[in-house]
Chain A
Amino acid sequence: MADKKQSKKAGSEAAEIRKPVGAVMVVGGGVGGIQASLELANMGYKVYLADSSPSVGGVMGMLDKTFPTNECSMCILSPKMVEVASNINIEVITLADVLSVEGEVGDMRVKLRIRPRYVDIGKCTGCGDCTAKCPVKIPDPYNAGLDTTRCIRVPFPQAVPGAAVIDPEVCRWLTKEKCGNCVKVCQAGAVDFDQKEREETFQVGMVIAAPGYRPFDAGRKTEYGYGVNQNVVTSLEFERILGANGPTQGHVVRPSDGEEVKKLAFVQCVGSRDTTVGNGYCSSVCCMYATKQALIAKEHLPGIEPTIFFIDMRAYGKDFEKYYTAAESRHGVRYVRGLISGIRERQRTKNLLLRYADEAGCTQEEEFDLVVLSIGLEAPCGLKEGLGLEVNEYGFAEADPFLPVLSSRPGVLVCGAAQEPRDIPDTVTQATAAAGIASQALHGARNTLLTRREHPPEKDVGGEEPRVGAIICRCGSNIGGFVDVPAVVEYAKELPGVVWAEERLYACSQDAQDWIRQVVEENGLNRLVVASCTPRTHQPLFRETLQSAGVNKYLFEMANIREHCSWVHMQEPENATRKAQYLVKMAVEKARRLEPLVEGESGVIPRGLVIGGGVAGMNAALNLAASGFQVYLVEKEDELGGLARNIHFNLKGEDVQAYVKELADRVEREELITAFTAHEIVDVGGFVGQFKTLIRDAEGRETLLEHGAVIVATGGGQYQPTEYLRGEDGRVLTQWELEKRIAEKDPALADVERVVMIQCVGSREEERPYCSKVCCTEAAKNALALKELSPRTEVFVLYRDVRTYGFREDIYREAREAGVVFSRFDDDVRPDVRDVAGTLQVRVPDANLAGEMVVLNTDLVVLSTGITANPDNAALAPMLKVPRNAEGFFLEAHMKLRPVDFATDGVFVCGLAHAPKSIEESVSQAAAAAARAESILSKDKIVTEGVVAVVDADKCSGCGICLQLCPFEAVTYDEEKKVAVVNTSLCKGCGTCTAACTAGASRLQGFRSDQIFEQIEAAASAWRE
């Protein structure tokens, strides 16, 4: 195993004296905590996932859609939640708060206070009978209190754990010893009023804090009248209003009268960029979520007129700018620059009058039907008290300036919005990075605390006639109350192939699993059908049970007679019973044709390849090496360092050059890293676990590298301007040139009387319609540094929007306080730089002064040039079989949840190769990419799903249609046999290729055409009966 190969670290004294504990406590079950937990479990660690609420899911679980793809939030989150629930190495602890953390890295003790749920999670089936009988109404927290639920309820349909919870403060039994309806009605006997609050201590090697954020309390901005004016809602409430699963089923209506909204206003920066409430920082996400909400509202109600009142539109992330411009130009979202100073409610109509200063400085008042306050993100509770972390002035966790997942306390890593307000992909990136960093400290104990499920050897059922067993579940009264279950059992018994059928009160309960195992063995069953609820949540459980009875788990089929039958035909029991019978028949007919499937295996070469030796690449390589893996680092230039060699100090004043040099030194010293400078990639072959890459040096000598994973860190470039007299006049510099002179303390700078900086040079333009993300901060940073160097120097920054997101807002404010003048110009104009008789002159219509022309004679013009994609990406992309976007940056597998993955397995991306970003973001991404690579390299073999496509070589005509269709590059063409071949290690089992195969050679295992045909025939014949 890879771990044994690692030489240096394991030999160090600490590891020998005390072996670390191979478990991690993850605090917070939002998307960050979920991601960290899944990564860690995947890398071989036991995980405790503690959340203070009754379900994991966090805020993302409440969102309707996500920007900038408008993707359904729950659709992408809920599979991850189900994965958490079904992973035996992740123990979810709900209603838990951290009391204390003690110990050292590798050996820590976390004390939790666990509040009682009053429902036994092991017994509760989530059927909802208790909720139906509970007399106590409470505002539904999942719907942000916009509608009501009952005191006992499953928190939301997709909740994990999917068990009910009781609110002890309002429960009539717990407060007055009255009622007790839930106890009476629960057929599973799950309600347990004897549960007590308890404290428990967990021994772990590391702690990852992912507690998320606290939404700003909108009531604190009294001028907006939140809580007083009925039609003023927060953005989180509006998100629920938009939700198809929300209180209004997605109808955009007003709380006051339920009328459809016509004029909708968003007020930005509520509780952000606002020192009057103590929040000097920018919350980073509100501009984009407001844009998203406006777009979705428009989708739901085409006639709606959304207006967003903002200060600066901060569309700084990947593809954000395009999203914003499309919202404005194509979808009719109106953006008005101006902060709302007050909201008044009209008495009769409950409409709202918004007062603001327009761009000309005149006070305007406009009437709206509904106002959404874009509330900011505040620091969560418990960082300091429970976790013992140092916090900054705003209460967020203090972090390392280069790798923000490192908190002030060794052994406790922090990710997501608890460290700085950030969006989902950045949170996922950090969570993945944190998992990787934890693994570096704990890899000596990898796989030591894992539980593995052992199963008896599989019986060979190959030659046997199908012997189908059918279990019809009553699900308490959920199915049994509407469907005549005994009639379904009788019907099932008569179906061909069925040798045994019975009903069960709860087929999913623990004792039922033992019973199923027994009946499978006693009746010699070789196929199992369970007619109960949805296979999306319960198939893994039953498959597991079947496996434990020695039967291949793919010989299983479910009939969903609850969600798709009893619950949706509650008023017509006869029809429901008939439909349940038909569904069972379809399942049985398919089950008869099921065949045992084998999960594929392929070997893993435990070495990584990192392409690019800049800050991202070096960090990726060092991270992988720290987890004990050999790494090849290939850099095309003669020396390591990349673009960061042009940056001298960051906004916290840290010496970037020293950092880059230290990284390069560490790379050279690290025995596990072999660096190939002045080498280029010639060819990449193979697939996940087994890549073969050919590299070549300047003299044409070639080297073949074999490795299991690839990290693409090819970096980016700097836009080379020819505008603004650049190249013609020596007084026109770039920010990097200025920064170099500041860092070198160029004495000439002290004599400079005036400097004019121009933003968005090469960014947010037609050719490059993206924001370069770093230039605003860079300009503010250098402006401030100039002011420090010589306070007399006048600095003007000509900008379009100042995009100093997160804590970068502080430096923007400091710059203004230091006298730097920020002057805005409109999107469609550009400053004019000219040489007037030897004097450098900049002319610009100032948009904040109603377009009045400002003329500045200046000593220096400094251009904030954008970041461009590395042109080498074009040649590399087809070799790696990965896509690029229109601007030439690499395109990740999923914008939100797989920010460092490619759709092609085993290939990962980080740094500027992915999109423009800051150094600390590149470093985080590099750590995340390394962690993702580690999840492959740490395994002996890659096990693939049984549900994959296969090609029957005898039938294949070699037409190649399937090759083009496969989004995962899993199908290749065998030149010798002239047929298509599926690489099961890469196949994801979508079956798109099979549908296109005219020869019927390509088949999806478990969903073969003949199996589906049987289902269709069964449905038709059942109806004909």
Chain B
Amino acid sequence: MAEESKKNDEEDIRILAFLCNWCSYAGADLAGVSRFQYPPNVLDVRVMCTGTISPYFVIKAFQEGMDGVLIAGCHIGDCHYLKGNYMTAKRFQVLREALKFLGLEEGRLRLEWVSAAEGEKYADVIRSFTEEVKALGPSPLRGKKAAKAEVGA
């Protein structure tokens, strides 16, 4: 029983997805409407714009034991708020660097532009990201939830 659950644990990759309301959340909706099947290892958090995704959110997710974090927003130039996704693109570079300090592989964090018409792309992203994270295995931070560090705000 215990062994089985351990095995499940390894299989059971945990991904948290931050989706912007206007494009990627809608893209995920379209994936649903179109019945494109993808692995159930992803839970999503809806935000108004990827620009609002503080690096703290991502670090918090890893601290909590997520194996992968996806940020998905409007294509560059399509931002509902004009330039929120430019900020995201910039912050993402910094965040990738920060992951190394946490002892995590870069591949655990992904940024994708998924439009409201790209249901299939959303499903593809989840499929390929799940595979990629699965290959990396469970996060080394999993279960080690260190003394609940203050992570800002």
Which residues of A are in contact with B by a Cβ distance under 8 Å? Answer: 64, 69-75, 78-79, 157, 243-245, 249-250, 534-536, 560, 562-565, 567-572, 575-576, 578-579, 582-583, 586, 903, 947, 965, 967-968, 988-992, 994-997, 1000, 1003-1004, 1007, 1009-1010, 1012-1013, 1015-1017, 1019-1024
Q: Which residues of A contact B26 (CB under 8 A)?
A: 75, 78, 536
Q: When A and B form their complex, which 8 residue pairs have the shortest distance between CB atoms, in order from nearest? A: A991-B52, A563-B32, A1000-B153, A992-B51, A1020-B64, A990-B81, A75-B116, A990-B49
Listed A/B pairs (13) with beta-carbon separation below 8 Å:
A75-B22, A244-B115, A563-B28, A563-B33, A568-B35, A570-B37, A572-B40, A990-B51, A995-B52, A995-B53, A1007-B47, A1013-B57, A1019-B16
CB distance from B16 to the nearest CB of A (A): 6
Q: Which residues of A contact B51 (CB under 8 A)?
A: 965, 990-992, 995
Q: A967 contacts B82, CB within 8 Å? A: yes
The 0/1 profile, CB within 8 Å of A marked 1, for residues 50-72 of chain B is: 01111111001100111000000
CB distance from A30 to the nearest CB of B (A): 18
Q: Given A1012-B57, A1023-B12, A947 and B48 touching (CB < 8 A)?
A: yes
Q: A72 contacts B45, CB within 8 Å? A: no
Look across to chain A and name the residue whose beta carbon is closest to the beta carbon of B55: A995
Q: Given A535-B46, A1012-B47, A965 and B64 touching (CB < 8 A)?
A: no
Look across to chain B and name the residue whose beta carbon is closest to the beta carbon of A583: B43
Q: A564 contacts B49, CB within 8 Å? A: no
Q: Given A988-B81, A990-B48, A995-B53, A1020 and B30 touching (CB < 8 A)?
A: no
Partner of B65, one of A74, A568, A1003, A1024: A1024
Q: Which residues of A contact B87 (CB under 8 A)?
A: 965, 992, 995-996
Q: Which residues of A contact B22 (CB under 8 A)?
A: 75, 79
Q: A564 contacts B37, CB within 8 Å? A: no
Q: How many B residues touch the partner, as a band?
A: 35 or more
Q: Which residues of B contact A1021 (CB under 8 A)?
A: 64
Q: Given A244-B119, A568-B123, A991-B47, A1009 and B54 touching (CB < 8 A)?
A: yes
Q: Given A1007-B48, A1023-B14, A75 and B40 touching (CB < 8 A)?
A: no
Partner of A995, one of B14, B91, B123: B91
Partner of A245, one of B30, B37, B47, B78: B30
Q: Which residues of A contact B28 (CB under 8 A)?
A: 563-564
Q: A569 contacts B40, CB within 8 Å? A: yes
For the complex, give the distance between the alpha carbons of A1013 and B54 in Å: 11
Q: Which residues of A contact B115 (CB under 8 A)?
A: 72, 75, 244
Q: Given A244-B117, A1024-B65, A1019 and B54 touching (CB < 8 A)?
A: no
Q: A579 contacts B40, CB within 8 Å? A: yes
Q: B81 contacts A243, CB within 8 Å? A: no
Partner of B153, one of A71, A586, A1009: A1009
Q: Which residues of A contact B64 (CB under 8 A)?
A: 1016-1017, 1019-1021
Q: A562 contacts B78, CB within 8 Å? A: no
Q: B117 contacts A568, CB within 8 Å? A: no
Instruction: Point out which of A70, A78, A565, A992 has the most chain B C-beta atoms below 10 A from its C-beta.
Output: A992
Q: B32 contacts A72, CB within 8 Å? A: no
Known A536-B29, A1010-B153; 4 more pairs at CB < 8 Å = A74-B117, A563-B30, A1000-B152, A1020-B64
For the complex, give the distance between the alpha carbons of A361 and B116 in Å: 47
For the complex, give the distance between the alpha carbons of A572 and B11 in Å: 15
Q: B47 contacts A157, CB within 8 Å? A: no
Q: A245 contacts B40, CB within 8 Å? A: no
For the complex, give the distance between the alpha carbons of A990 and B53 in Å: 10
Q: Which residues of B contact A1024 (CB under 8 A)?
A: 65
Q: Does B23 contact A (CB under 8 A)?
A: yes
Q: Does B25 contact A (CB under 8 A)?
A: yes
Q: Does B118 contact A (CB under 8 A)?
A: yes
Q: Given A244-B121, A567-B32, A903-B82, A69 and B57 touching (CB < 8 A)?
A: no
Look across to chain A and name the residue whose beta carbon is closest to the beta carbon of B66: A1020
The 0/1 profile, CB within 8 Å of A marked 1, for residues 77-91 of chain B is: 110111110010001
Partner of B81, one of A586, A967, A995: A967
Q: Which residues of A contact B153 (CB under 8 A)?
A: 997, 1000, 1003, 1009-1010
Q: B57 contacts A1016, CB within 8 Å? A: yes
Q: A245 contacts B119, CB within 8 Å? A: yes
For the complex, give the distance between the alpha carbons of A560 and B46 in Å: 10
